[in-house]
A = this chain, B = another copy of it.
Amino acid sequence: MATEEPVVYVGNKPIMSYVLACLTLFHEGASEVCIKARGKFISKAVDVVRMVTENFMWKVRIKDIKIGSEFLTDKKGSMHMVSTISIILTKEGG
């Protein structure tokens, strides 16, 4: 799948940082924005999506949600499997 939409990676920053990143991308003309997170940040990514769609931009809808997994190498060099989520938001009419 050739996805060209901008990606917001959710991590350690406060939720509003990511909400604002999404709002900025939509206001700059993006018709779709992808929100990605891994491991414990998945819950925060869902919070971001909820805030964007329910509190800030009524015309933005969830187009697709995918979950998967990735291998991560920690500081000691050992591999860990982590869950990932990828949520595509789309702006109606534009």
Chain B residues within an 8 Å CB radius of A39: 43
A sample of 13 inter-chain contacts (CB < 8 A) reads A39-B43, A42-B43, A43-B43, A43-B83, A46-B67, A46-B85, A47-B83, A50-B83, A54-B69, A62-B67, A65-B66, A65-B67, A67-B87
A50 touches B62 (CB 8 A): no
Task: Judge if A60 is at the interface, Cβ distance under 8 Å.
Answer: no
- Smallest CB separation, A76 vs chain B (Å): 21
Q: What residue in chain B is nearest A66 (Cβ atoms)?
A: B65
A50-92 at interface with B (beta carbon < 8 Å):
50, 54, 62, 65-69, 81, 83, 85, 87
B65 touches A50 (CB 8 A): no
Q: Out of B43, B68, B87, which one reaches A41, CB within 8 Å?
A: B43
